[in-house]
């Protein structure tokens, strides 16, 4: 699976539940490798923050703030309050105290020379997410957004656009700085090459999945296997977040059909859309319609089960049957 943050993490939990409720032995011992987006990583106060990797890790490891979908449960904000009292900038990124410890460990390991993939593995030693979590790259790839302001164009970090401006400033373009020279992290291409199939969760198709596919070599590897995606757009609006602002920036309509066409039939083999989008047709892509809101663990598991069914059908791999 290629994963962004909240949507990817929640879908992933549904996927684990779905696999747990399948007939043995076909799915026994199934391993999930998650290739996480690192394009919205940011250095704040000298600490290295990897929002998407952490959201996956906390969600599967039982440490997530469930209501919010990101950050830690039972969080406190003493450090943030004090940094603001010192006038430290930026103040628009709300790092909690518990969460901050993760970024302190990561920054320490980075300073000691460890690559992000090794650091992620070390952090997961504690969280035991039950999946293999790999960053898309150990190289620094940062999503920047070109915005028009009074005086002219300016490139800002994705987080500044997303969190500070709530994507309310029009994006002229979205650039993946460093992507051209980045290499997939160790294990990424091998995981894709040996996978039975690849699942694209309802993550942001531009700055999450798109960012991962932008690392040279990953798109080609993914395209060579069976790929089933879950639409992040329902009835012309993003399921959550502000994916429409990102799609607009790259000239793609906010529709399940347009996103599938954007991924392309060379990449995507199957596409799950909501019943509201049952009319979706993209040549070369098998479309199935079902309720697509991940409103409860049960509905999320049902979507993941449908993805497994479709992936099994398209790949010829026996993905078993749900025992539910």
Give the whole-angstrom CA distance, residue 109 versus residue 118: 9
Residue pair 263/234 in contact (Cβ under 8 Å)? The answer is no
State whether the Cα torsion 32-142-293-282 is positive or negative.
negative
CA nearest 55: which of 5, 129, 130, 107? 5
Q: What is the DSSP string of 64-108?
A: B-TTTSSSBTT---HHHHHHHHTT-S--SS---HHHHHHHHHHHH
Q: Which residue has the tokens 């509201």?
A: 276
Nearer to a second copy, 108 or 148 (CB): 108
- Binding residues for a second copy restricted to 279-318, rule: CB under 8 A: none
**Nearer to a second copy by C-beta: 104 or 146?**
104
**Cβ of 35: how many Cβ atoms within 10 Å?**
28
| Residue 49 binding a second copy, by CB under 8 A | no
What gap in Å lies between CA 305 and CA 299, rounded to an integer? 10
Nearer to a second copy, 63 or 214 (CB): 63
Q: Specify the stretch interacting with a second copy by CB under 8 A; choose among 86-94, 247-255, 260-268, 305-313.
A: 86-94
Does position 25 interact with a second copy (CB under 8 A)? The reply is no
- Mutual orientation of helices 6-20 and 51-61 as an angle, nearest 10°? 30
By CB under 8 A, is residue 111 in contact with a second copy? yes
If binding is defined by CB under 8 A, does position 75 make contact with a second copy? yes
* Position 105 contacts a second copy (CB under 8 A): yes
Instruction: Please name the residues in contact with 174: beta carbons below 8 A apart, sequence gap of 6 or more.
Output: 143, 144, 145, 146, 158, 206, 207, 246, 249, 250
Which one among 17, 73, 83, 265 touches a second copy, defined by CB under 8 A?
83
For residue 101, the minimal CB distance to a second copy (Å) is 3
CB of 125 to a second copy, least distance (A): 8
Q: Residue 168: is it exposed, middle or buried by C-beta count within 10 angstroms (0-12/13-18/19+)?
A: exposed
The phi, psi pair for 46, rounded to 5°, reads 80, 5
Backbone angles phi, psi at 40, to 5 degrees: -100, 20
Q: Is residue 94 close enough to count as binding a second copy by CB under 8 A?
A: no
The yes or no reply on residue 81 touching a second copy (CB under 8 A) is yes
**Does 156 participate in binding a second copy (rule CB under 8 A)?**
no
Stretch that binds a second copy, among 51-59, 76-84, 174-182, 308-316 (CB under 8 A): 76-84
- Smallest distance, a second copy to C-beta of residue 50, A: 15
Kindly indicate which of the ranges 106-114, 176-184, 244-252, 314-322 contains the residues binding a second copy, using the contact rule CB under 8 A.
106-114
Query: What gap in Å lies between CA 306 and CA 215, rounded to an integer?
Result: 29
Size of the residue set binding a second copy (CB under 8 A): 27
Question: CB 142 → a second copy: shortest distance, Å?
Answer: 19
DSSP class of 63: -
Q: Which is nearer to a second copy, 85 or 168 (CB)?
A: 85
| Nearer to a second copy (CB atom), residue 46 or residue 150 | 46
Given candidates 45, 169, 172, 177, which one binds a second copy under the rule CB under 8 A?
45
> At its nearest, how many Å lie between a second copy and the CB of residue 107?
6
Per CB under 8 A, does 73 bind a second copy?
Answer: no
Q: Which of residues 112-131 bind a second copy (CB under 8 A)?
A: 123, 126
Say if residues 200 and 2 touch (Cβ distance below 8 Å). yes
Interface residue list for a second copy (CB under 8 A): 45-47, 75-76, 78-79, 81-83, 85-88, 96-98, 100-102, 104-105, 107-108, 111, 123, 126
């Amino acid at each position: 699976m290629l994963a962004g943050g909240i949507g990817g993490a929640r879908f992933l939990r549904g996927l684990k539940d779905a696999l747990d409720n399948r007939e043995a032995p076909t799915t026994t011992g199934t391993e999930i490798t998650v290739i996480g987006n690192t394009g919205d990583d940011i250095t704040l106060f000298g600490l290295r923050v990897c929002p998407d990797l952490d959201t996956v890790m906390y969600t599967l490891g039982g440490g997530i703030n469930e209501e919010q979908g990101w950050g830690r449960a039972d969080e406190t904000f003493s450090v943030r309050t004090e940094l603001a009292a010192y006038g430290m900038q930026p103040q628009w990124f709300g790092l909690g105290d518990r969460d901050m410890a993760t970024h302190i460990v990561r920054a320490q390991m980075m300073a000691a020379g460890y690559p992000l993939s090794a650091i992620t593995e070390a952090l997961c030693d504690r969280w035991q997410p039950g999946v293999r979590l790999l960053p898309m790259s150990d190289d620094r790839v940062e999503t920047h957004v070109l915005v028009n302001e009074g005086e002219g164009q300016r490139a800002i970090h994705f987080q500044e656009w997303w969190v500070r401006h709530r994507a309310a400033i029009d994006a002229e373009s979205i650039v993946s700085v460093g992507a051209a020279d980045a290499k997939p992290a160790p294990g990424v291409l091998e995981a894709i090459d040996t996978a039975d199939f690849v699942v694209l969760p309802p993550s942001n198709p531009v700055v999450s999945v798109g960012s991962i596919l932008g690392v040279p070599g990953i798109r080609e590897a993914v395209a060579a296997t069976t790929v089933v995606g879950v639409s992040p757009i329902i009835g012309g609006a993003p399921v959550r977040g502000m994916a429409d602002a990102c799609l607009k920036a790259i000239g793609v309509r906010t529709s399940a059909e347009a996103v599938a066409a954007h991924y392309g039939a060379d990449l995507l083999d199957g596409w799950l859309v909501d019943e509201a989008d049952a009319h979706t047709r993209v040549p070369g892509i098998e479309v199935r319609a079902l309720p697509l809101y991940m409103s409860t663990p049960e509905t999320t598991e049902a979507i993941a089960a449908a993805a497994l069914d479709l992936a099994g059908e398209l790949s010829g791999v026996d993905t078993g049957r749900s025992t539910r």
